[in-house]
Amino acid sequence: MKKYNFSAGPSTLPEEVLQQAAEAVLNLNNSGTSLIEISHRSKDFIAIMDEARSLVKKLMKLDDNHEVLYLQGGASLQFSMIPYNLLKNKAAYIDSGNFASSAIKEAKKIGSIEVLASSKDDKYTYIPKNFEIPKDVDYLHLTSNNTVYGTELKEFPETDVPLVCDMSSDILSRDIDFNKFGLIYAGAQKNIGPAGVTLVIVNKNLLGKTDRNLPSYLDYQIHIEKESMANTPPVFAVYATLLNLRWLDKQGGVSEIEKKNREKAALLYGEIDRNPLFRGVCVEEDRSLMNACFFLNDEATYKAKFDELVKQANIIGINGYRTVGGYRASIYNAMPLEGVQTLVNVMKELEKIA
Ligand SMILES: *Cc1c(COP(=O)(O)O)cnc(C)c1O
């Protein structure tokens, strides 16, 4: 039996996606060859890449200014690629968590950065709000979901400044107007596929404005021109992502999955708030739909017992991030309601025997 995998990333994928990916590794489309040994210039793979790009456009309702790229180097390489491509004079950043702070650290190596707000003072347990956006910055960098701390941006600023957003852990989980972003990026391994590929969506009108002579791999314009095939793409990761995008499309797309995600989150946070043995980590209004962080009020008494019950219920991956402690249940698109219900039942069971 497949365990309920609540890991933050790499994270759970639908069983049918894993099944199809496994089959393709042995025999792609009944061709008698493996997905991972065919040429990326073959007809089969070009069709895969084309569909993987167009399905993102469809699911996110992107306009023609927005280009979809599949790149390598993880979300982490985007921390540098973004300023290399977009930063001319100055960029603004919001420090809402550890990944936001890594993005700031990398950008500072490249240009002038202004950090408009930070929630570090309270261990990143809330989303910084009410900051003034300078008119003269090249872009504002945001992190829509803070994977480690479990906070999520519910509303995005209305501004003429191009918005750049790290959506690694909540992309395609809720319906937002993706066209209002200048650039969106996401490491696939949280909510859209396996590790090894990074989705980048960029408004092409923002490109070509700096005078930097970039290394080719770091230049978005080259990847656009080469349709994400400037070099050998990670064929397995792109294909598994495509399978997962098809799965999402079949579920009814982003607005349908959002309903399910809201239902799952309400069930789990409801129990965290109701059950006297537990408490949430973050400010209520900023709680993430994707990563629910919580503590046992009395770890010394209950941790061993709770961990045992969790294990018996076939649940894995709920330990909190090492610097936060406690528990973190990541309830991405592919986690079924039944998995969340199983976890909630375990929390109730602990209360009963306490
Ligand atoms: C996981 C994560 C990253 C880092 O992604 P890599 O693909 O491992 O580089 C960056 N930002 C956020 C919000 C993440 O959750």
Mutate to test the pocket of ligand 1, among 168, 200, 241, 330 (most ligand atoms within 8 A of CB): 168
99 labeled part of a ligand binding site? yes
- Per-position DSSP letters for 66-102, written without gaps between them: EEEEEESSHHHHHHHHHHHHH-SSEEEEEE-SHHHHH
pLDDT above 90 for 7: yes
Q: Which atom of ligand 1 is nearest to the CA of 198?
A: 7
The mean per-residue pLDDT over the stretch 48-62 comes to 98
The Cα–Cα gap between 227 and 239 comes to 15
251 labeled part of a ligand binding site? no
pLDDT above 80 for 257: yes
The Cα–Cα gap between 13 and 2 comes to 11
75 labeled part of a ligand binding site? yes
Between the alpha carbon of residue 198 and those of residues 60, 125, 307, the distances in Å are: 16, 27, 33
Q: Which atom of ligand 1 is nearest to the CA of 144?
A: 13
| Residue pointed to by tokens 């190596």 | 109
Confidence of residue 34 (pLDDT cuts 50, 70, 90): very high
Tokens coding 106:
């990398």
SS3 state of residue 112? strand
Q: Quote the percentage of the chain above a pLDDT of 70.
A: 100
State yes or no: cis peptide before 10, omega within 30 of 0: yes
pLDDT above 80 for 80: yes
The residue extents of the domains of the chain are: 15-250, 253-353
Q: Quote the percentage of the chain above a pLDDT of 90.
A: 99
Look at residue 3 in the predicted model and tell me its pLDDT: 96
Cβ proximity of 56 and 68 under 8 Å: yes
Q: E strand or H helix at 247, and its extent? A: helix 235-250
> Which residue's alpha carbon is at the smallest distance from atom 12 of ligand 1?
168
The Cα–Cα gap between 328 and 268 comes to 11
Query: From the CB of 78, is ligand 1 less than 6 Å away?
Result: no
The answer to whether the 15-250 and 253-353 domains have the same CATH topology is no
211 labeled part of a ligand binding site? no
Confidence of residue 1 (pLDDT cuts 50, 70, 90): confident
pLDDT above 90 for 2: no
Look at residue 294 in the predicted model and tell me its pLDDT: 98
Query: From the CB of 328, is ligand 1 less than 6 Å away?
Result: no
The mean per-residue pLDDT over the stretch 279-300 comes to 98
Confidence of residue 201 (pLDDT cuts 50, 70, 90): very high
275 labeled part of a ligand binding site? no
273 labeled part of a ligand binding site? no
* pLDDT tens by residue, 150-191: 999 999 999 999 999 999 999 999 999 999 999 999 999 999
* pLDDT tens by residue, 213-249: 999 999 999 999 999 999 999 999 999 999 999 999 9
- CATH classification of 253-353 is 3.90.1150.10, yes or no? yes
Report the mean per-residue pLDDT for the chain. Answer: 97
3-state secondary structure 275-335: CCCEEECCCHHHECCCEEEEEECCHHHHHHHHHHHHHHCCEECCECCCCCCCEEEECCCCC
Q: E strand or H helix at 55, and its extent? A: helix 43-59
Identify any residues that bridge with 319 across adjacent strands, giving them in sequence order.
Answer: 327
Residue 75 alpha carbon to ligand 1 centre in Å: 5
The mean per-residue pLDDT over the stretch 130-144 comes to 97
Query: From the CB of 75, is ligand 1 less than 6 Å away?
Result: yes
The Cα–Cα gap between 345 and 349 comes to 6
CATH class of 15-250: alpha beta
Residue 334 alpha carbon to ligand 1 centre in Å: 18
> Which residue's alpha carbon is at the smallest distance from atom 4 of ligand 1?
75
